[in-house]
Amino acid sequence: MAALGLPVPDGLILPADLVSEIATGAPVPDLGAFPGAPDILSIRSSPERSDWGGPTAILNIGLSDRETEKLAATIGAAPALDLYRRFIQSFGTGVAGLDPEDFENLYYDQLKLAGLDTHDGLDAGHLSDLVDASKDFYADEVGEPFPQDPHDQLRAAIRAMAEAWARPSARILRQARGADPEAGTALILQTMALGIGQGLSGSGLVQMVDADSGKAVVTGRFLPQSQGQDALMGVRTPHLITRASREAEGQSAPALEELAPDALTALQAADLKATEGLRDRFQFEFTLDRGQVWLLDAMPAKRSARGAVAIAVDLADRGIITREEAILRIDPRNLIQHLHPQIDPDARRDVFGTGLAASPGAATGRIVFSAEAALAMQAQGEAPILVRIETSPEDIRGMHAAVAVLTARGGMTSHAAVVARGLGLPCVVGASDIRLNLRKGVLTVADGRKFNEGAVVTIDGTRGEALMGAARMIQPELGGAYAKVMDWSDDIRTLGVRANADTPQDGRLARQFDVDGIGLCRTEHMFFEEDRIHVMRQMIMADDVDERRAALDRLQPIQRADFEELFAIMQGLPVVIRLLDPPLHEFLPHGHDEMQDLAEAMDLPVSQVTGRAEELREFNPMLGKRGVRLGITMPEIYEMQSRAIFEATLAVNRRADAPVVPEIMIPLVSAYREVEMIKSRIDAIAQEVQAQAGEALSYKLGVMVETPRAALRAGDLAASSAFLSFGTNDLTQMTYGLSRDDAGRFMRDYVNAGVFPEDPFHSLDVEGVGELLLLAANRGRAQNPDLVLGLCGEHGGDPASIRFCQVAGFDYVSCSPFRVPIARLAAAQATLLSRRDRGAADAPGLEPEARGVGSDSVPPTRSASGTG
Amino acid sequence: MAALGLPVPDGLILPADLVSEIATGAPVPDLGAFPGAPDILSIRSSPERSDWGGPTAILNIGLSDRETEKLAATIGAAPALDLYRRFIQSFGTGVAGLDPEDFENLYYDQLKLAGLDTHDGLDAGHLSDLVDASKDFYADEVGEPFPQDPHDQLRAAIRAMAEAWARPSARILRQARGADPEAGTALILQTMALGIGQGLSGSGLVQMVDADSGKAVVTGRFLPQSQGQDALMGVRTPHLITRASREAEGQSAPALEELAPDALTALQAADLKATEGLRDRFQFEFTLDRGQVWLLDAMPAKRSARGAVAIAVDLADRGIITREEAILRIDPRNLIQHLHPQIDPDARRDVFGTGLAASPGAATGRIVFSAEAALAMQAQGEAPILVRIETSPEDIRGMHAAVAVLTARGGMTSHAAVVARGLGLPCVVGASDIRLNLRKGVLTVADGRKFNEGAVVTIDGTRGEALMGAARMIQPELGGAYAKVMDWSDDIRTLGVRANADTPQDGRLARQFDVDGIGLCRTEHMFFEEDRIHVMRQMIMADDVDERRAALDRLQPIQRADFEELFAIMQGLPVVIRLLDPPLHEFLPHGHDEMQDLAEAMDLPVSQVTGRAEELREFNPMLGKRGVRLGITMPEIYEMQSRAIFEATLAVNRRADAPVVPEIMIPLVSAYREVEMIKSRIDAIAQEVQAQAGEALSYKLGVMVETPRAALRAGDLAASSAFLSFGTNDLTQMTYGLSRDDAGRFMRDYVNAGVFPEDPFHSLDVEGVGELLLLAANRGRAQNPDLVLGLCGEHGGDPASIRFCQVAGFDYVSCSPFRVPIARLAAAQATLLSRRDRGAADAPGLEPEARGVGSDSVPPTRSASGTG
């Protein structure tokens, strides 16, 4: 700040190394005379990051009986004595280790003695008595008189602050905040800008940018006759900075602008200089000393998630920072604020349930306990909030109707969480403090209150809370800064961002978020709609291949129509279609009543329905007969699906400009032969469809790598695959031996206890799952250099995981549409960080700033591929 | 055989290379005159292995009109003409490709014409007509007369046999039998030992060792006036070889011993010479030519599983082969025949159910449909066979009472299969062709027959079949050859063999099988007995830590007593104790009635029991809250267990000679911190117990590597672990993403279709799971060179997997007690094979004979460890 010519009091810096040495007993060097030779000083600690803590600043060093007298001549006796009193207290507590409360008691005793209520009435006599009392107390407690030599004072203060920094409690605090325990602090010695004395003196805080909009708005306060943190302490009511804000708040006390227009002008000039020179926006601590503005500290300006975006874009637009720098400064998660309504941070919150923040945003509505009730309520024009113990595919229609979802069970990747994120619905899962009696339609909360259907609540999916009643909201805003960030990100990033989109509706949504394609279309989701689920169930109830084929023949045109619509929407962008994945029992109803309904609808004895359900029941459905295992044992299912894909491709290509090249993906592969067998069937269907139509088509066939074995054998798989897409949800489950649906019950405990540094379903486990990804990528590419690599788990929307994909050389990530903006920005950041790391590697000695999952925290790719 | 001086007809060999060239068009070389210059020859193919197929031998080459006339002078007209007729047929079919049935028709026409029923009545006139008819037929079909020049005949026969070997159908057959499709065959040309003619001529088959006992017993048959396979064809009734066997079978026709005592003596001399010279026991094809014995072929003597053991041991005892060779010759699986009763191979089988051969041996008993009924039936002195859809831990007591188990569902590692193998009970699982109505107590089989409780059936766990009624049995035999094989194996092997043993009873059984220790004691199995399960359930129903602790305090002395008994039985041998592993819901009852009982017993509302069960219910229990996850979230459980272990150790050490050093194993680890946290708690308990007792104890702490992530992070884990034991059941499940309980439904299809080469739960998947094992072993040992490595999955009893463990440098395998003999032999073989491979590696050019999971089929260890 001094170098920029900002009005900073003169001073000097004791570097961190020297401070460390002093803490371990080295003598404090002779500092000689200060530049400008003032006689009253302050010392502040200055660590690398302000949130690492450190000892409180000591002000007014140099005051003694004699100096106070001299100062009284300049600023008056009472202010001088008050400063001396403050100094004795500050030195006594900060250096001699006395209890600040004792000093406070002396002060209040003096007020009482003087018969006064506030400080304002204390005159020089009172203050002189207080100084004497303070010195006496000091001498009694410390065993020697209060030091009168300014050099003694300074040396003692420096040593005390150095030792305080090195204290174990301070080290622990720093460590807890992410600092290296050995990190040091510099000490800044400055002449005091007194803030107390004649003329307009005082101290304050000012920020010239709005924390939410990033626009030029001046906020802050000023307290005459104060110094240090006084203006923040609330002893007296401070003045506001501008007249406009004073008028807006209806305050009568004049604003600083009115008291000293020059001071505001000086502060504005300083703000501009700091913005340009330090390339960010700041909040300043300032002191007025007889009308003269002094800046004591500049901290990054406070900003909300939206404000951070706006400020970064504004700085770039003004040419103060580059677009790349702007991109790197925005936390991608902050974009969520731009995409969903949020509860106003100042709103009153009556929280009745706490769970996992499964899908961001907030919504107010009326609770319902079933999908049917959600649909009925929606039909009445009301906003339903679906509350369930957990959701299942049968609830999907209800979730479409709902404005938010709350479940009592489930983790970050439970059905409710995944679907809600896909739909962009605010969602809280695993709210274990609520109890549901679905039969009676009652929701009971921890404190015993009960809600019936129709009660108004607000779901805060950003914080993972359920609130009683309607809360005040802030609406999303997609233009302006947000749009610029997206554009710049797309210019920078080299990693593709696709969306997970299961239906034509999802496809439309994905296009709104400017995706590069669809990275995961889960075909089974097409079968849950009312007209389809019945045919799907006929297929499952079929007693032989012929019956099954007959049902599949009825499904085929429906599926083909879905694909046609989806391809048309995507206009030639790549679309990865995953063949049927879930175990068949997921398509059957669960309760006995529903099974009876199904039996009646299909004209079967109910025992046949329950019998089939029993046959299909699995101990561990996640590890059961699903994915390619269905494809191998019931080949007619995948045959139907590939025929539908190919016919849809030809139909769309007849009328579209950009030809569709569908990418067909085989799920849950664990052995090479599985791919070989499915591939030969799909290739045969393609031949057949082309021959029937007399038209040619292109397609790609790839594998979803979800089992550790598929990762290990990626070299084999790559021989028959155009692409590998890592399904990191399942891969994480299998690598940890941990079901995402069941992990919710102890994941929070596990993360809190530090057993796992983070929920591995949330941010990719670089050390375990990540190694499998790298190993698979290397083995796959070694076998097939044209192999396209993607990631399509929930991690596709997580910035740290995206960074990993960039480092690993993947081609794209795929995530739910509402995460796409985050992924686009994170991908741009990953590209920039990789570029910087490469630069750093070229020029040794330059340390990359942000490591995160940097190139050195993942195993070197060469040795990983050597395992093959 | 010729080199040994055995009576083999003179001949020469066309090597395989030459035969291949002939097949692709090279000329047949001029063979000149035969040594000994006979004029009648045979050609046989001689591939590397006899089961690779190949063209039928062509006999009597050289016969023509003229040669037949000459031969008639020596052996008579009718025999000579019969040989000529045979030759024309053999040449016509084998060389000219004519249909053998047409020749048969000519023969039967001739019999009819002569008014005869059998061959015996055909005289020279009839046979001359038959020769003419055959030649005419040949000339008509081929378009040229039957060749009269012996050299033409020979060349044509050689070319035809060479081409037949190279035919695509022959190649496919060979490939199906495991041959290299390019494998060749030599052709053997020999002078004919006619077997037809004057004096005692004929052909036969003889074996001089008993196929079951390995004792010296002569079996076989002899057919006068026959050649080639005649004696096997059953045209006429053959004579037996020895008088003893003739008398035993009550045959009147004289035995060969009686017809030609010298011939038997010559055969016995030849047998001895072949045994010593070729170092095995053989079955011989022989021909008597005017009283002279000729050996035409020697095939390895037929032998049963037991016979193979007996023969190998006998050869070693006689000094013909070394003990090491004997060990390598025995298929370890053959030992099963020594350990369990088996159904007599000749017994009639009325199979009503087919499933997986889950646990070997056979037993007859009466069916029951519940554990209670099994106990009741056992109490009545009957042998119950437990039939269930599948078993659960609640059935264990019923399984103890049963003599065999049959389930309709489940795979090779289902609960029923694992427990039955542990108990040595014959068991068939996944018999999907039976249907159970448990309520009515009826078992319905595929053909509609119904069985009620009490019906007598036989379970064949060796073949995976359920038979109606009682089947004839062969009882096991543990002495003699079996005992020698075990002793020799223990002398040779370097790999430890431990047993999985959960209770003191299991420990006693394990000691009977001479184990090196216990590799896996699953402590939860101690809690299912009647006096314990109730306390366990109180622990689960506890509402807070204090209640839980109170229940655990009641369990602690029970568990300590179990450990004391087990340690005392094991007399200082290592015992690995796995801390509680299964999810808690496994200990709760399932049905509503049982829950009601529990609620009454615990004086709780039933809703509390069902509520807790619902709370604990998991989507994928395999991947749920179990293992170390219980240990971390409910630390008091593992604390109780370790205290019990340590107190039992001290108690046993007070009175035993060999001190116990318990090895405590933490299950389902996926992160290093889990080990660190549990280790610090266990170490603290150890300190406490030692301080309380004033005595010292030693113990080891290790990790069960069951998740892919634990394998990947083995370097970290090894830092705090004395041992790693690979739980390959779970590791296989997670690596494949395949639940062993659910895989049963499609595993057979998968293996039959070649998707998986073998059931990976049965034989270790070397390419996937095996890579993780190697990688973990290398990373672990790099971190901690003293690290002990074991394997304790079901694979511990599988020979191929044991070989893998030897190559990977593991210290021990652990398997169920009844697999221990197999593992001991397989470990000895693995040691020998590794020794041979090392020898081969030292002397390049020597190809190791048995590769299987040899050192080159697993990734080189150096590059695998480089991934760390």
Report the CATH number at residue A395. 3.50.30.10
Greatest Cα pair distance, chain B, in angstroms, is 108
Residue among B619, B632, B735 whose CB faces A621 most closely = B619
pLDDT at A328: 96
Contact at CB, A632 and B750, closer than 8 angstroms: yes
Residues A226, A229, A234, A238, CA torsion sign: positive
The one-letter code for the residue type at A490 is D
Contact at CB, B620 and A707, closer than 8 angstroms: no
Q: Is B836 annotated as a binding residue?
A: no
Kindly state the percentage of chain B with pLDDT values over 70: 95
pLDDT at B842: 57
Q: Is residue A151 part of a domain?
A: yes
Residue among B623, B742, B767 whose CB faces A737 most closely = B623
A534 included as an active-site residue: no
Mean pLDDT throughout B551-573? 95
Q: What is the CA radius of gyration of chain B?
A: 34
Residues of A in contact with B671 (CB under 8 A): 755-756
pLDDT at A867: 32
Same domain assignment for residues B776 and B714? yes
Kindly state the percentage of chain A with pLDDT values over 90: 62
CA of residue A360 relative to chain centroid, distance: 10
pLDDT at B682: 97
Same domain assignment for residues A575 and A682? yes
Same domain assignment for residues A572 and A639? yes
- Other CB atoms within 10 A of residue B145 CB: 10
Contact at CB, B619 and A624, closer than 8 angstroms: no
Instruction: Specify the higher pLDDT residue, A593 or B84.
Output: B84
Nearest residue to B513 (alpha-carbon basis) of B831, B825, B828 = B825
* Chain A residue closest in CA terms to B670: A736
Most confident of A269-283, B589-603, B754-768: A269-283
Host H or E run for residue A444:
strand A442-444
Q: Is A706 annotated as a binding residue?
A: yes
CA triple B82-B85-B90, angle to 5 deg: 125
Cα(A141)–Cα(B841) distance, integer angstroms: 84
Tell me the pLDDT band of A506, cut-offs 50, 70 and 90: confident
| Chain A contact probe: residue of B413, B590, B620 with most A CBs at under 10 A | B620
Residue among B737, B745, B755 whose CB faces A734 most closely = B737
Strands A518-522 and A575-578, by their bridges, are parallel
Q: Is B728 annotated as a binding residue?
A: yes
Instruction: Specify the higher pLDDT residue, A390 or B723.
Output: B723
Say which residues have a Cβ less than 8 Å from residue A479's Cβ, sequence separation at least 6: none
Q: Is B727 annotated as a binding residue?
A: yes
Say which residues have a Cβ less than 8 Å from residue A202's Cβ, sequence separation at least 6: A195, A196, A222, A223, A224, A225, A226, A231, A287, A288
CA of residue A78 relative to chain centroid, distance: 51
Nearest residue to A797 (alpha-carbon basis) of A832, A765, A823 = A823
End-of-domain residue from the set B617, B633, B664: B617
Say which residues have a Cβ less than 8 Å from residue B764's Cβ, sequence separation at least 6: B728, B732, B770, B773, B795, B798, B800, B801, B804, B853
Contact at CB, A863 and B859, closer than 8 angstroms: no
Instruction: Specify the higher pLDDT residue, B121 or A832.
Output: A832
- B112-146 pLDDT, tens per residue? 988 887 777 788 999 999 999 999 999 999 999 99
**C-alpha distance from A386 to closest chain B C-alpha (Å):** 21
- Other CB atoms within 10 A of residue A842 CB: 8
Is the pLDDT confidence value at A745 over 90? no
Same domain assignment for residues B380 and B456? yes
Is the pLDDT confidence value at B687 over 70? yes
Residues of A in contact with B623 (CB under 8 A): 620, 622-623, 733-734, 736-739, 742
Same domain assignment for residues B723 and B818? yes
Residue among A619, A623, A734 whose CB faces B708 most closely = A734
Same domain assignment for residues B210 and B294? yes
**B327 in the Ramachandran plot: left (φ > 0), alpha (ψ -120 to 50) or beta?**
alpha
Residues of B in contact with A753 (CB under 8 A): 632, 677
pLDDT at A273: 96
Most confident of A205-214, A695-704, B79-88: A695-704
Same domain assignment for residues B74 and B121? yes
The one-letter code for the residue type at A52 is W
What does residue A533 show for φ and ψ, rounded to 5 degrees? Answer: -60, -35
- Taking the CA of residue B323 as centre, how many other CA atoms within 13 Å lie in the half-sphere pointing to its CB? 14
pLDDT at B861: 34
Contact at CB, B737 and A673, closer than 8 angstroms: no
Cα(A107)–Cα(A96) distance, integer angstroms: 19
* Domain containing residue A184: CATH number: 1.20.80.30
Contact at CB, B621 and A618, closer than 8 angstroms: no
* Domain containing residue A781: CATH number: 3.20.20.60
- A104-148 pLDDT, tens per residue? 999 999 888 888 877 777 889 999 999 999 999 999 999 999 999
End-of-domain residue from the set B445, B474, B503: B474
**C-alpha distance from A498 to closest chain B C-alpha (Å):** 26
Catalytic choice (A521, A792, A805, A815): A792
**What is the domain extent for residue A243?**
202-303
Residue among B735, B739, B768 whose CB faces A624 most closely = B739
Residues of A in contact with B668 (CB under 8 A): 737
The number of C-beta contacts closer than 8 angstroms across A and B is 183
**C-alpha distance from A526 to closest chain B C-alpha (Å):** 23
pLDDT at A32: 66
Structure token digits, residue A568: 């048309």
Angstrom CA distances, B794 to B446, B493, B499, B859, stand at 31, 20, 11, 23
Residues forming beta bridges with residue A43, ordered by sequence position? A58, A189
* Segments of A672-780 assigned E as strands: 700-705, 723-726
Contact B363, B435 (CB under 8 A): no
| Chain A contact probe: residue of B438, B672, B738 with most A CBs at under 10 A | B738
Strands A427-429 and B518-522, by their bridges, are unpaired
Is the pLDDT confidence value at A727 over 90? yes
Is the pLDDT confidence value at A859 over 50? no
**DSSP characters over A21-78:** HHHTTPPPP---SPTT--S-EEEEEEESSGGG--PPPEEEET--HHHHHHHHHHH-HH
Contact at CB, A668 and B737, closer than 8 angstroms: yes
Contact A52, A225 (CB under 8 A): no
Q: Is residue B321 part of a domain?
A: no
Cα(A776)–Cα(B867) distance, integer angstroms: 12
Contact at CB, A746 and B772, closer than 8 angstroms: no
Residues forming beta bridges with residue B204, ordered by sequence position? B222, B286
Residue among A620, A754, A775 whose CB faces B623 most closely = A620
pLDDT at B36: 40
* Segments of B453-517 assigned E as strands: 456-460, 465-468, 473-474, 496-500
Residues of A in contact with B768 (CB under 8 A): 670, 708-709, 712-713
**C-alpha distance from A559 to closest chain B C-alpha (Å):** 27
Q: Is B602 exposed, middle or buried (0-12, 13-18, 19+ CB in 10 A)?
A: middle
Q: Is residue A243 part of a domain?
A: yes
Structure token digits, residue A79: 């202010």
pLDDT at A33: 57
Is the pLDDT confidence value at A763 over 60? yes
Q: Which residues of A721-752 are buried (b: 16+ CB within 10 A; e: fewer)?
A: bbbbbbbbbbbbbbbbbbbbbbbbbbbbebee
* Domain containing residue B252: CATH number: 3.30.470.20
Is the pLDDT confidence value at A359 over 60? yes
Q: What is the CA radius of gyration of chain A?
A: 34
Q: Is residue A314 part of a domain?
A: no
Residues of A in contact with B624 (CB under 8 A): 739, 742
Residue whose tokens read 């705090």: B720
Catalytic choice (A415, A585, A762, A795): A415
CA triple A655-A658-A663, angle to 5 deg: 105
Contact at CB, B772 and A867, closer than 8 angstroms: no
Contact at CB, B736 and A624, closer than 8 angstroms: no
pLDDT at B862: 35
**C-alpha distance from A808 to closest chain B C-alpha (Å):** 15
- B345-385 pLDDT, tens per residue? 778 899 999 999 988 889 999 999 998 899 888 888 889 99
Q: Is residue B30 part of a domain?
A: yes
Q: Is residue A857 part of a domain?
A: no
Same domain assignment for residues B673 and B644? yes
The one-letter code for the residue type at B307 is G
Angstrom CA distances, B434 to A158, A607, B443, B447, stand at 88, 17, 7, 10
Contact at CB, B707 and A735, closer than 8 angstroms: yes
CA triple B447-B448-B449, angle to 5 deg: 100
Sheet holding B292-300, edge to edge: B239-240, B219-224, B202-207, B282-289, B292-300
Instruction: Specify the higher pLDDT residue, A848 or B618.
Output: B618
Contact B45, B54 (CB under 8 A): yes
Tell me the pLDDT band of A489, cut-offs 50, 70 and 90: very high
Residue among B619, B708, B750 whose CB faces A735 most closely = B708
Residues forming beta bridges with residue A388, ordered by sequence position? A407
Q: Is A730 annotated as a binding residue?
A: yes
Residues of A in contact with B637 (CB under 8 A): none
Strands A404-407 and A384-388, by their bridges, are parallel
Cα(A338)–Cα(A344) distance, integer angstroms: 13
End-of-domain residue from the set A568, A598, A617: A617
Residues in chain B: 868
pLDDT at A172: 84
Structure token digits, residue A572: 């030639």
Kindly state the percentage of chain A with pLDDT values over 70: 95
| Range from B163-177, B348-362, B839-853 carrying the lowest mean pLDDT | B839-853
Q: Is residue A712 part of a domain?
A: yes
Residues of A in contact with B867 (CB under 8 A): 771, 775, 859, 863-864, 866-867
Say which residues have a Cβ less than 8 Å from residue A711's Cβ, sequence separation at least 6: A705, A726, A731, A772, A773, A775, A776
Contact at CB, B620 and A623, closer than 8 angstroms: yes
Number of domains in chain A: 5
Q: Is A691 exposed, middle or buried (0-12, 13-18, 19+ CB in 10 A)?
A: exposed
Cite the active site residues of B: 415, 792
Residues of B in contact with A433 (CB under 8 A): none
Structure token digits, residue B724: 């790693």
Same domain assignment for residues B296 and B349? no
Q: Is B469 annotated as a binding residue?
A: no
Contact at CB, A755 and B866, closer than 8 angstroms: no
Residue among A618, A749, A775 whose CB faces B739 most closely = A618
Cα(A401)–Cα(A380) distance, integer angstroms: 11
Residue among A622, A709, A733 whose CB faces B736 most closely = A709
Contact at CB, A671 and B755, closer than 8 angstroms: yes
Residues forming beta bridges with residue B187, ordered by sequence position? B14, B45
Instruction: Specify the higher pLDDT residue, A735 or B112.
Output: A735
Contact at CB, B735 and A712, closer than 8 angstroms: yes
Contact at CB, B713 and A745, closer than 8 angstroms: no
| Range from A209-213, A319-323, A673-677 carrying the lowest mean pLDDT | A209-213
Q: Is residue B860 part of a domain?
A: no
Mean pLDDT throughout A853-857? 37
* Chain B residue closest in CA terms to A714: B768
pLDDT at A850: 35
Q: Is A728 annotated as a binding residue?
A: yes
Contact A98, A90 (CB under 8 A): no
Same domain assignment for residues A631 and A608? no
Same domain assignment for residues B578 and B589? no
Tell me the pLDDT band of B412, cut-offs 50, 70 and 90: confident
pLDDT at A841: 61
Same domain assignment for residues A825 and A768? yes
**C-alpha distance from A863 to closest chain B C-alpha (Å):** 5
Mean pLDDT throughout A64-86? 91
Cα(A264)–Cα(A270) distance, integer angstroms: 10
**C-alpha distance from B849 to closest chain A C-alpha (Å):** 25
